[in-house]
């Protein structure tokens, strides 16, 4: 199978740190709820029980952070000449010929971490992308290139490895045709 032209991974810091702050707030609300229930039921508990409750809530928070980390650490976007392969929990392929437009969105957390979400219409998004201006430019150029060359989805052949090198385009020169395989020109 052909190696990807370019590879992009999600920013784990952009995922973990906001998740940590959200979980801290949720844990505080959970502890406050437990404390209010104990107060309203007029149940007196010692300091050691409060410490055990806090430790149990902290353990749940750590487990949730580990789940988030393991879920997102393997997510990778492999760029090929005609598609993007999304590797991770739910692998899929997005062909440039299917993309209608690319939109870039940034929220407050994205601005703090220098990331962005690249939306590929009609129904796919690449969240938490670092170096988003370069990736956005590269992606729009690949989409324009795929449209100009008329790439059609050939997922089965690529998955099976039967298409190892596909001519990208032929350019007439003085000696015949120069055929490009993965941006390397060979003269015939």
**C-alpha to C-alpha distance for 129 and 135, rounded to whole angstroms:** 8
Instruction: Give residue 158's pLDDT band: very low, low, confident or very high (50, 70, 90).
Output: very low
| Cα dihedral 161/166/168/170 (nearest 10) | 180
State residue 159's pLDDT score.
Answer: 44
State residue 105's pLDDT score.
Answer: 93
pLDDT in tens, 64-116: 999 999 988 889 999 988 889 989 888 888 888 888 889 999 999 999 999 99
State residue 173's pLDDT score.
Answer: 43
């Amino acid at each position: 199978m052909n190696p990807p032209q370019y590879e992009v991974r999600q920013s784990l810091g952009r995922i973990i740190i906001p998740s940590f702050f959200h979980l801290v707030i949720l844990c505080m609300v959970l502890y406050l709820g437990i404390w209010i229930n104990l107060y309203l039921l007029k149940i007196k508990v010692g300091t050691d029980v409060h410490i055990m409750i806090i430790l149990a809530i902290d353990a749940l928070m750590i487990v949730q952070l580990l789940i988030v980390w393991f879920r997102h650490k393997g997510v990778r976007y492999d760029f090929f000449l005609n598609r993007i392969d999304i590797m991770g929990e739910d692998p899929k392929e997005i062909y440039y010929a299917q993309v209608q437009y690319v939109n870039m969105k940034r929220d407050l957390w994205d601005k703090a971490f220098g990331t962005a979400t690249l939306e590929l219409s009609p129904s796919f998004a690449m969240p938490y992308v670092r170096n988003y201006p370069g990736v956005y430019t590269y992606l729009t150029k690949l989409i324009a290139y795929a449209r100009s060359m008329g790439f059609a989805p050939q997922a089965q052949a690529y998955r099976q490895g039967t298409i190892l090198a596909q001519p990208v385009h032929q350019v007439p020169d003085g000696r015949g045709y120069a055929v490009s395989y993965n941006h390397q020109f060979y003269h015939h």
